[in-house]
Each structure stands twice: as structure tokens, then as C-alpha cells.
């Protein structure tokens, strides 16, 4: 099975690499669609946990793709996924880097830059929505998701505090039999 899985990982990630404007959040809904719905490599629960684990580790947020590769096909999956998600986009950046001063001064570049954020932020919100539908199972989950959203949107503190607080609260509540 392994070779066909690796090949599918390569095809999936090289394609997603070229459309990953805005990084990991943009591609999460499609990643979920392919990994869970199309290929059935993971359950919803495993996908949500993988996403959360990747948030806890430092580094580029695209490392969630490496972790999915690891869980689907071990070390080979991790390496293949990491290279596939980086290479196409970085090759493009490499090319752009060599001509960027020309690009920056072209008359259409400001419009190009202004056209991106609305689409990217819509996709980022979609990504949060899709992971929420996967990760939230009860009213307490709604409270945690909403609480983390408000905390992140309104404070300048590291958003990981919200994840830590939710985790600790849930464990205490379960131990004390409150929920």
C-alpha cells in the first residue's frame, strides 16, 4: 500500500503547495476533505487531534502537513509530505525573490496585494469553521472554541494560552464530575 499512499501524498501536497496563499489555514479545509473524506486515511477525531498537536509545537504552521504524513505513512510519509508542501511554493518564491524589486514597482502589484487578504481571510475563517465542526462535540466544546476565538481576537497574548486553559479546565471539570 505504501508506495501508492506516498505518491498520493506527493500529488496532494504539491498541488496544495501552489495554492497555499496565507499558509496552513488556507489549505486545512481541503486537507480535511482529502485526508478524511476522499482517502479515509484518518478519522475526524484523529484529524482534529493532529491539528491541535501541530499547534502546540513550535515552527511554521505548515508542519501540520508533515505530521499528517507521519501518521499516514511513517518517516517516509513525513519526509515526502514536508518536501512536497515546501518545494513548489519555495521554488516560486526563489524566482520571485530574484525579480522582486521589479515586481514591487509594477503598477498592478498594489492591486494584487490588496486583492489577496479578503480571499485569504475568508479561507482562514473557513478553516476554523471546518476544524470546529470536526472538533466540537458538545456545549463545552462550543465554549472552548468561542472562548479561544474571543481571546485570540481581542488580546495580544500568545493564543496558546487559550488552548492550555481549555485543556486544564476540561480535565479538572471531568475529574471533579462537573461536566
Report residue 99: phi and psi, to 5°. Answer: -120, 15
Q: Which is nearer to other proteins, 7 or 137 (CB)?
A: 137
Q: Which of residues 95-134 bind other proteins (CB under 8 A)?
A: 96-98, 100-101, 103-104, 108, 110-132, 134
CB of 19 closer than 8 Å to CB of 116: no
Q: Which is nearer to other proteins, 10 or 147 (CB)?
A: 147
* Residue 54: Cβ within 10 Å count: 19
Residue in 77, 8, 75, 52 with CA at minimum distance from that of residue 141: 52
Distance CA 176, CA 172 (A): 6
Q: Which is nearer to other proteins, 5 or 22 (CB)?
A: 22
Q: Which of residues 43-102 bind other proteins (CB under 8 A)?
A: 48-63, 66-67, 70-71, 78, 82, 86, 88-90, 92-94, 96-98, 100-101
Q: Which of residues 131-170 bind other proteins (CB under 8 A)?
A: 131-132, 134-137, 140-142, 144-154, 158-160, 162-163, 165-170
Rounded to a whole number of angstroms, the minimum distance from the CB of residue 4 to other proteins is: 21
Asked if residue 175 binds other proteins (CB under 8 A), the reply is yes
Element (H, E) at 156: none
**Binding other proteins by CB under 8 A: which of 2, 7, 11, 19?**
19
Distances (CA, A) of 141 to 3, 25, 99, 151: 38, 20, 47, 15
Q: Which is nearer to other proteins, 6 or 16 (CB)?
A: 16
Q: Which is nearer to other proteins, 1 or 114 (CB)?
A: 114
Rounded to a whole number of angstroms, the minimum distance from the CB of residue 74 to other proteins is: 10
Asked if residue 11 binds other proteins (CB under 8 A), the reply is no
End-to-end CA distance of the chain: 43
Distance CA 170, CA 157 (A): 21
Amino acid at each position: 500500500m505504501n508506495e501508492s499512499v506516498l505518491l498520493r501524498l506527493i500529488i496532494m501536497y504539491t498541488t496544495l503547495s501552489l495554492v497555499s496563499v496565507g499558509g496552513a489555514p488556507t489549505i486545512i479545509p481541503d486537507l480535511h476533505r482529502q485526508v478524511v473524506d476522499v482517502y479515509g486515511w484518518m478519522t475526524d477525531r484523529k484529524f482534529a487531534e493532529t491539528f491541535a498537536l501541530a499547534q502546540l509545537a513550535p515552527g511554521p504552521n505548515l508542519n501540520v502537513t508533515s505530521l499528517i504524513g507521519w501518521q499516514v505513512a511513517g518517516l517516509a510519509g513525513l519526509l515526502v509530505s514536508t518536501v512536497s508542501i515546501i518545494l513548489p511554493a519555495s521554488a516560486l518564491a526563489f524566482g520571485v525573490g530574484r525579480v522582486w524589486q521589479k515586481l514591487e514597482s509594477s503598477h498592478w502589484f498594489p492591486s494584487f496585494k490588496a486583492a489577496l487578504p479578503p480571499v485569504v481571510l475568508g479561507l482562514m475563517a473557513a478553516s476554523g469553521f471546518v476544524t470546529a465542526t470536526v472538533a466540537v462535540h458538545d456545549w463545552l466544546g462550543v465554549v472552548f472554541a468561542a472562548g479561544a476565538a474571543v481571546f485570540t481576537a481581542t488580546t495580544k497574548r500568545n493564543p496558546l494560552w487559550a488552548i492550555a486553559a481549555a485543556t486544564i479546565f476540561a480535565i479538572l471539570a471531568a475529574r471533579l464530575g462537573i461536566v
